[in-house]
Amino acid sequence: MQDLAPVRKLALMALMKRHHGKTDLDRAEYLGVRGAGRDLLQEVVLGVRRNIFLIDAILQQHLPARRDATHAVTLNVLRMGVHDLVFRERVPAAIVVSECVDLCGGHRKARGFVNAILRRVAESITRIDLEAGVIPLDRRTIETAPLRGAVLSMDVLPDFATQPAEHLSRRFTLTPWFVAELLKMLPLEAAAAARAASTRSRPAFRPRVGGPTLLELADELRAAGCAEVAIHAPVVAARAPGALRDLKPLVERRCSVQDATAAEAAPFLNAAAGERILDLCAAPGGKSLHLAELLADRGTIVACHRAGRSGAQLLQNIAASGFQCVQAHDLGADGMRMPEGLFDAVLVDAPCSNSGVLAKRVDARFRLDAENIGELARIQQTLLRRGAERVRPGGRLVYSTCSVLPQENEAVIKAFLAETPEFTLDAEFTRHPQRTGRDGGYAARLVRKS
């Protein structure tokens, strides 16, 4: 078993940065740790954040005073301890308690406090097997791993029958607003959708156009040492044995790292060799380079970006790809410097709430509320209108997000079509993670009348 002590120190540093609002853990610096330690660190830190409402509810049953009276460092040490005691069954409780106590350094009072609380939590847990496909919705049972659960000695969850939104919000660490939307959108699937949003994700690999089939790529990933390999068309999900950049199929350019819904956006544009294509929100370039593969490097792809880290990454990725048909275009500081001329097809992969990829974008769950979604919808409508201005008569316009919320998807398209009658809806789809076992999102293809 790998030594957890150094990982806990780094995990505490990352959680304290997040506690003070200094980092987004989905893009945190701690992910720069290499080797097996990186995966373990990510599992601990993102595991705490993915389950923090539930972890705090468990702690509240054992703390002698209000949680907000506990020092921030001590609180985050306790959160890590509860996470490992509940969700990391293979780690002995004595090791978890000892290493968390050590994180308190020479603070004798804090050491005794952490030791007492975590021992109480450990004693309150009974391990059980779970039936496949069953989501426990009682007040004490928690799913901790596939087919495994923990029964706590005290009620930590609201009654699902009378408080379904509150129950799912606490169990799966989702904002009450988002859970209410799930219950409204998918009343019979809300629990499954909430569970899918809080399941640990795996990297996804898209076969290169003209390269291996999904079955062949799955075999290549297994041969490279990947675990938990599963096909979720049009990608293969797998857990790599080390750094992704060293994975043989990636080094040999047999595949690209790209989520399933993102991998569907470029083909949905129906681009043909020789066409002029605009990717309005291109950074960091995954969809532009996918289009270049589909066009066999014949045509023109204008990949728009704004100055900053993502723009720099786009330029780097274009240079490394070797494609000649992709041209980067800087939209300027205000984002208003559009490229000239009309295009055969325009892709608007709009910034969104990430509600369809919460398993991967763990910290995004805390930003899901009516105000943020309303602001995003306004931005999305503006980008869609600007993209539409560059579509030639008879051309195509694809709008896509990695959200499952209608406010960012169907409602945006409906409002656009109401004010822009020269466009018609040709096709659309929504992917729900609880139905597909992969990430979620939306895409709509519009056609400008000739």
What local confidence, expressed as pLDDT, does residue 446 receive?
A: 98
The residue type at 131: E
When pLDDT is cut at 50, 70 and 90, the band that residue 312 belongs to is confident
User: Nearest Cα to 201, choosing from 271, 255, 260?
Assistant: 260
pLDDT for 1 equals: 44
Q: Which CATH superfamily is domain 260-448 in?
A: Vaccinia Virus protein VP39 (3.40.50.150)
For the record, the structure tokens of 150 come out as: 């923990």
Dump pLDDT digits (tens) for 83-120: 999 999 999 999 999 999 999 988 899 999 999 999 99
pLDDT class for 65, splitting at 50, 70, 90? Answer: low
Per-residue DSSP letter, 335 = S
The CA–CA distances, whole Å, from 377 to 74, 178, 202, 354, 407 equal 39, 15, 29, 13, 7
Please choose, from the candidates 206, 196, 198, 334, the residue with its C-alpha nearest in 3D space to the C-alpha of residue 259.
206
> Once rounded to an integer, what is the mean pLDDT over residues 8-19?
88
pLDDT per residue over 107-157, tens digit each?
A: 899 999 999 999 999 999 999 999 998 899 999 999 999 999 999 999 999
Determine the residue type at 358.
L
Look over the chain and give the mean of its residue pLDDT values, rounded to a whole number: 93
pTM of the complete model: 0.93
pLDDT, position 66: 58
Q: Is the peptide bond before 406 cis (omega within 30 degrees of 0)?
A: no
At 428 the pLDDT is 98
Q: Measured on CA atoms in the order 404, 408, 411, 412, is the torsion positive or negative?
A: negative
Nearest to 167 by CA among 185, 141, 132, 196: 141
pLDDT score for 67: 54
C-alpha–C-alpha distance, residues 382 and 264, integer Å: 23
Q: Give the distance, in angstroms, between the CA of residue 116 and the centroid of all CA atoms in the same chain.
A: 35
- Tell me the mean pLDDT in the region 423-431: 98
Rounded Cα–Cα distance for residues 265 and 64 (Å)? 52
Pick the CATH number of 5-124 from 1.10.940.10, 3.20.20.80, 1.10.1740.10, 3.40.50.300: 1.10.940.10
Strand 235-239 versus strand 227-232 pairing type: antiparallel
- How distant is the alpha carbon of residue 323 from its chain centre? 28
Q: Is the pLDDT of residue 37 over 80?
A: no
Buried/exposed 86-120: b ≥16 CB within 10 Å, e otherwise = bbbbeeebeebbebbbebbeeeeebbebbbebbbe
**Percent of all residues in the chain with a pLDDT value above 70, rounded to a whole number:** 95
Q: Are 82 and 121 in contact (CB under 8 A)?
A: yes
CA distance 199 to 191: 12
Strand order of the β-sheet with 343-349 is: 326-330, 300-305, 276-279, 343-349, 391-401, 441-448, 423-431
Q: Residue 36: its pLDDT value, please? A: 61
- Name 240's Cβ contacts closer than 8 Å, sequence gap at least 6: 203, 224, 225, 226, 247
Which residues lie closer than 8 Å to 187 by C-beta, 6 or more apart? none
